[in-house]
């Protein structure tokens, strides 16, 4: 079975590498990241010039691009993939996008006789490299069974959450929990330091208790090191929280915590920190206190 892979960025490149390592015949393209395409070719993948050139060769097409407009462009734009796919081919969109857009894209593909699953991930670059991502999947159960073995080469958890769009709804839930958790860690460590207790001691003392979390373990050391190399960029998290706002408006769902953290992130973006890892939320507090969090 030939697999296409469009979008070889921070996440897509290691995910594609894991598929080559697992023995899949891969055809790859990226509009901008030509060095990443070369890396994949060096491992045995085939490079294609355009997204349509990828599509005409494959049975399953994976997309891993930033947001809904990029997925739509990759599929339906100039030299887009959709028109070149065989009938019965499967589009597996692993990008984190608005679930409403997933449903719109699926409706267009359905008219062309093409199947689609939305399968966004959680875990970030380290888990993309290790092949231990968590996939949240939406779509038909019978198509899920076909793509599951492929997803298991890139992830250690693969869960069908419901029909098309359910993967991205679940991803939005994930992004709320991560954003609010990072903000809580930043707020707590800042308070602790201002009250005269070393942040390192706070982290050591509470990480094994109820307050402990994967987010805290990953992000508290970055905050104390003032190391904001991404990881997951503020601008991508703003994109996800804006998608939460859109979905909440559509279904009249209350999101006061999301709105607060989104405002903090927008202030960081205003000050030029949009390319930093989302652990840079601590900088919002540093602006207010005038002092950096330290060890």
Q: Which residues are catalytic?
A: 171
Of positions 19, 48, 93, 96, contacts ligand NAD by CB under 6 A: 96
d(CA 175, CA 120): 11
Of positions 22, 33, 129, 211, contacts ligand NAD by CB under 6 A: 33
Nearest approach in angstroms of CB 133 to ligand NAD is 8
| Residues whose CB falls within 8 Å of the CB of residue 76, separated by 6 or more in sequence, listed in order | 82, 108
d(CA 202, CA 209): 11
To the nearest 10 degrees (0 to 180), the angle between helices 281-289 and 166-194 is 30
Q: How far is CA 265 from CA 9, 237, 250, in A?
A: 22, 8, 23
Q: Which stretch binds ligand NAD (CB under 6 A): 37-45, 66-74, 100-108, 111-119?
A: 66-74
Comparing CB distances to ligand NAD, the nearer of 20 and 133 is 133
Q: Which stretch binds ligand NAD (CB under 6 A): 116-124, 152-160, 256-264, 279-287?
A: 116-124
Q: Which stretch binds ligand NAD (CB under 6 A): 105-113, 117-125, 193-201, 245-253?
A: 117-125
- The torsion region of residue 164 among left (phi > 0), alpha (psi -120 to 50) and beta comes to beta
Of positions 26, 40, 55, 65, contacts ligand NAD by CB under 6 A: 65
d(CA 93, CA 279): 27
Per CB under 6 A, does 64 bind ligand NAD? Answer: yes
Binding mask 214-253 for ligand NAD (x = CB under 6 A): -----------------xx---x-----------------
CA geometry: angle 126, 268, 215, nearest 5 deg:
35
Can you give the binding site for ligand NAD, defined by CB under 6 A? 6-12, 29-33, 51, 64-66, 70, 73-74, 95-96, 121-122, 124-125, 231-232, 236
């Amino acid at each position: 079975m030939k697999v296409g892979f469009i979008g070889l960025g921070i996440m897509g490149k290691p995910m594609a590498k894991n598929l080559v390592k697992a023995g899949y015949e891969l055809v790859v393209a990226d509009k901008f990241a030509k060095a990443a395409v070369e890396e994949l070719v060096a491992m045995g993948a085939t490079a294609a010039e355009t997204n349509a050139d990828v599509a005409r060769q494959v049975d399953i097409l994976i997309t891993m691009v930033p947001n809904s407009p990029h997925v739509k462009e990759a599929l339906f734009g100039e030299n887009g993939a959709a028109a070149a796919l065989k009938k019965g081919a499967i589009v597996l969109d692993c990008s984190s996008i608005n679930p409403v857009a997933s449903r719109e894209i699926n409706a267009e593909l359905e008219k062309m006789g093409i199947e689609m699953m939305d399968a966004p991930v959680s875990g970030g670059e380290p888990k993309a490299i290790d092949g231990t991502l968590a996939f949240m999947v939406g779509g038909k159960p019978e198509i899920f069974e076909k793509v599951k073995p492929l997803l298991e080469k890139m992830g250690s958890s693969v869960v069908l959450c419901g029909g098309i769009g359910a993967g991205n709804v679940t991803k939005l839930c994930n992004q709320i929990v991560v954003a609010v958790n990072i903000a809580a860690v930043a707020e707590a460590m800042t308070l602790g330091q201002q009250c005269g207790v070393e942040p390192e001691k706070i982290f050591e003392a509470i990480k094994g208790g109820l307050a402990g979390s994967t987010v805290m373990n990953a992000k508290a050391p970055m905050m104390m090191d003032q190391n904001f190399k991404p990881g997951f960029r503020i601008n991508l998290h703003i994109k996800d929280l804006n998608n939460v706002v859109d979905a909440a408006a559509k279904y009249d769902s209350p999101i006061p915590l999301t709105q607060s953290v989104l405002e903090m992130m927008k202030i960081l973006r205003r000050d030029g920190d949009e390319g930093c890892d989302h652990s840079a939320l601590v900088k919002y507090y540093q602006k207010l206190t005038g002092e950096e969090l330290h060890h």
